[in-house]
Structure 1
Amino acid sequence: MNWLKTLLATLVGLVIIAVGILFTVHNTTPVAIDLVFVQLPEATLSLWLILAFVAGGICGVLLSTLTILALKARLRRANRKVDSSRQEIERLRTTALKEPA
């Protein structure tokens, strides 16, 4: 089963590389990007699109990492609260057993 996963990953990787090469070959028009305050140098359309795609991926990873870190912090706080509650319950159980009736 592991060989099937490796084969599938290899095929997907080759398809992505082939599509990337075809995309680059068909989008060779030089384009200058004009942001409001900055004029970026002239480069091929495919380069600008690939850079935008990569920048979006990096932004997505960073934002999801921040979200995951915040959720892990909430989970740690909740686990500490649960542990504190368990300790208190255990203390109350032992106190109730020690008291004379």
Structure 2
Amino acid sequence: MIDWKKMKADISKGIKDGFENVKDGAETVGKKAEELTTEGQRKINVFNHKKRIQEKIEELGAEIYNAEKLTPGAINHEPSMAIFAKIESLSAELKELEKKK
């Protein structure tokens, strides 16, 4: 024979436990979402800082390039002069390519 009182009590306890589990799960999900949001914001800030640094390096490179163009011999650093020469070579190639339009 089925004990309806026990079954009703078990179902009631199961529902109560289920709600508590859902509540605990929701709190855990909320905390994890906050952690992920914070981490995502940190990663975006790191990326933006790296981008700004890269922009300044490019700006510095342009200034050094322009200094050498305006005053030949301004650069006396061999690796920098090699890059300067490559830029000059690529610029000449670009001019030739643009003429062929």
TM-score (norm 2): 0.57
- Higher relative CO (CA 8 A, sep ≥ 6), structure 1 or 2? 1
Counterparts of residues 1-101 of structure 1 (less than 5 Å)? 28-29=12-13, 44-100=16-72
Structure 1 regions of 5+ residues with no counterpart? Answer: 1-25, 31-42
Decide which structure has greater strand share.
1
Q: Over residues 25-67 of structure 1, what are the superposed CA-to-partner deviations in whole Å (9 max), with x where a residue is unaligned?
A: x85307xxxxxxxxxxxx8111100001111111110000010
Decide which structure has greater helix share.
2
* Runs ≥4 residues deviating over 3 A: none
Q: How many residues align?
A: 64
- The structure number with the bigger radius of gyration is 2
Using the aligned pairs only, state the percent identity: 5
Structure 2 regions of 5+ residues with no counterpart? Answer: 1-9, 74-101
CA RMSD in angstroms comes to 2.1
